[in-house]
């Protein structure tokens, strides 16, 4: 995976990070990662997208918080906070054309030492996730994981610019929407869609990430 030119602020290599030291010392870092650096994310971008290599900005902050330990004493435990902002092109599953999907991730992780410790960690706090740290931690891989988990279940425009031909019943025409399209709109409680040449602009202005996790 090719690193973005220039080192991120506060890190020499986000692919090789001592996550425990990063948290203990309360360090901060920020950078930019392009979709071309995220192969799994790139697979989600349609080939006909206007720009397949959009960029995401990210900020990471390490902290410690006092927690009760097994011996009954309090000790500092490592945490990581990660924020990711940006957008990428996805294929609308309603009209089968690309649209720009925004992402706005803000996640907090409790860092543990082993997978066994992660599995035993109590899941009583929805705001905090658990990750296994290491001294060669790949922060970019975690960023890609978060983006993939934040993908919409059904990617689609808020308002499609046109109706896909598979949804047009009978004689082809801009006004002729099929039963499938009408039932889709009925489920959403809206009116049948009509062509909207400003849909791409609206998706930029109004599109919000369909974040299943937050």
Does the pTM surpass 0.85? The reply is: no
Stretch 191-195: mean pLDDT, rounded? 47
Q: Cβ–Cβ contacts within 10 Å for residue 60, how many?
A: 24
Q: Report the distance separating Cα 171 and Cα 167, nearest Å.
A: 11
Q: Tokens 């990428």, residue?
A: 88
Asked whether 94 and 199 are in contact (CB, 8 A), the reply is no
- Determine the pLDDT at residue 202: 52
List pLDDT tens digits, range 97-142.
999 999 999 999 999 998 988 888 776 666 789 999 999 999 999 9
Over residues 133-181, the pLDDT tens digits come to 999 999 999 999 999 999 999 999 999 987 656 555 544 444 444 444 4
Report angle CA 71, 23, 17 to the nearest 5 degrees: 125
- Structure confidence by residue, pLDDT tens digits, 56-87: 999 999 999 988 777 778 889 999 999 999 99
Closest CA to 144 of 27, 26, 38, 24: 38
How sure is the predictor about 37, in pLDDT bands with cuts at 50, 70 and 90? very high
């Amino acid at each position: 995976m090719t690193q973005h030119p220039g080192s991120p602020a506060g890190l020499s290599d986000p692919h090789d990070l001592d996550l425990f030291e990063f948290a203990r010392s309360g360090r901060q870092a920020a950078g930019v990662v392009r979709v071309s650096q995220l192969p799994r994310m790139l697979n989600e971008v349609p080939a006909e997208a206007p720009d397949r290599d959009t960029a995401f900005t990210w900020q990471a902050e390490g902290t410690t918080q006092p927690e009760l330990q097994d011996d009954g004493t309090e000790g500092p435990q490592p945490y990581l906070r990660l924020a990711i902002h940006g957008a990428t092109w996805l294929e609308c599953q309603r009209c089968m054309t690309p649209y720009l999907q925004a992402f706005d991730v803000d996640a907090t992780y409790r860092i543990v030492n082993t997978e066994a410790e992660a599995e035993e960690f109590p899941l009583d706090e929805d705001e905090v996730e658990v990750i296994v740290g290491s001294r060669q931690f790949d922060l970019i891989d975690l960023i890609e994981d978060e983006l993939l988990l934040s993908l919409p279940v059904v990617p689609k425009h808020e308002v499609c610019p046109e109706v896909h031909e598979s949804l047009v019943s009978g004689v082809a025409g801009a006004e002729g929407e099929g039963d499938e399209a009408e039932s889709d709109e009925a489920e959403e409680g809206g009116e049948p869609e009509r062509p909207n040449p400003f849909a791409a602009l609206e998706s930029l202005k109004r599109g919000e990430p369909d974040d299943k996790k937050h």
